[in-house]
Amino acid sequence: MAADQSGVFSGEGFAPDDHTQDAPSDPANNRPNGVSRREFVGAAAVAGATLISAAGAFGQSRSDLEAGRSDDYASDPGPENDALLALNPDPNRPPFTDRGTLPPFWYGFALTPKRLQAGGWTHQVTERELPLSKDLAGVNMRLTAGSFRELHWHLADEWAIMLAGKARVSVMQPNGKMFIDDVEKGDLWYFPAGYPHSIQGLEGAGCEFLLVFDQGDFSEDDTFLLSEMLAHIPPEVIQKNMGWSRQEWDQLPAETLYIFPAELPGPIENDKRFLGSRLETENQYTFHGAMTMKPLAETAGGSARVIDSRNFPASRNIATGIVTLRPGALRELHWHPNGSEWQYWIQGKGRMTVTMTGARARTVDFNAGDVGLVPNMAGHYIENTGSEDVIFLEMFKTSRYQSISVNEWIARMPDKMAQVHLKLPLSPIRRVPASQYVVLPK
């Protein structure tokens, strides 16, 4: 990848020279390493002018809009869902810069029904729950120790991250070779559409993981299952195909297995030895240590990691950013030129404003287990509003991660171009950070 001194994203993804380098000092402006929150507030005011219409576009002056959020004007003496409002205060009392109507871009896994079976559970957030999510769908699944997600395949590519515990995964290629590996918290896997595969919880507490599919209307209840196929092939055909007698066919599962308990497997070396020359060793369908790998961008405010087809070749159609924000820190104002952003919040509490065409903007709060969706090319930021680190995933239906920084764009504008657009003196314009820092500190 191309490299510069910023330790941040470039047009084709991250491009640091020193992957753990903090934001550089700027002796000319007497700035310490990193970008202070005060500096960013000034920069955000500049950037906001490019994204929010003038006061007249609201139909009210800015002072009127701000006044509506003071005194008793925004009070609600009627019934309210206090528990929900505590988790999502911004939609109820939005920033005065919010305007117009945007489709919902938040949903929570906690709102979706779980399919509970002996051996574990699963639930999903897809286009049905979040209509803006046309490109990707998510499934959260848990398997107890030894339990299987039945051997299956589906129409969509499957990307996954382990959230807890350990699992054994297998996938067979069309050439008959099988890949098999053990994964644990922070590891990834990627299975192409149509490749049959399995997932089994290992010793201890089993496992929990997030699956992401490159098909917005994907349904975890509509996958091809080995048990269903064999139960609905005539027994005389099974005898011709597999050599199994009618009595043996009668022993096959008559109903879907889907998730079911089983004994723990033996050492993985035994399985690999059994496969012998049919063990796949060239293509790597797992990626270990995604959440602990060396960050490709890091400041005092947090860090960011990217996994896409450049460092995980199997992941041909899904690119991922793993972002950590320390309390008060900001994932800087930006957009993505090559796809909608599907988010999964692993930890913490934060808020996000999404800006769209027509001077529309909406601010929503997020918590662990929530899903966010940023429409293709929409401007947005993510801010940690809690007391612990925020960790969230940025997912895209593409082979390469790309991001465009509003700060970096303003910094590249020639003086007269910037002044005539922003209506500001040159001095505050040139206080805007000149590089894409990804994460800005408090």
Q: Which residues are catalytic?
A: 394
Cα–Cα dist 225/237, whole Å: 18
Q: Which residues pair with 207 in a beta bridge?
A: 143, 165
Cα–Cα dist 262/46, whole Å: 59
Other C-beta atoms closer than 10 Å to the C-beta of 430 total: 14
Q: Which of 267, 253, 263, 152 is nearest to 211 (CA)?
A: 152
In the structure encoding, which two tokens stand for residue 363, read together?
């601010």
Helix (H) or strand (E) holding 342: strand 341-347
In the structure encoding, which two tokens stand for residue 82, read together?
């206090």
Q: With beta carbons less than 8 A apart as the criterion, state whether 427 and 37 touch.
A: no
Q: With beta carbons less than 8 A apart as the criterion, state whether 149 and 207 touch.
A: no
Cα–Cα dist 368/49, whole Å: 32
Buried b (16+ CB within 10 A) or exposed e, 15-31: bbeebebbbbeeeeeeb
Phi and psi (nearest 5°) for 227? -65, -40
Cα–Cα dist 133/174, whole Å: 30
In the structure encoding, which two tokens stand for residue 194, read together?
């149509």
Q: Provide DSSP, 136-169.
A: -EEEEEEE-TT-EEEEEE-SS-EEEEEEEEEEEE
Q: Pairing between strand 330-335 and 286-287?
A: unpaired
Largest CA distance in the chain: 86
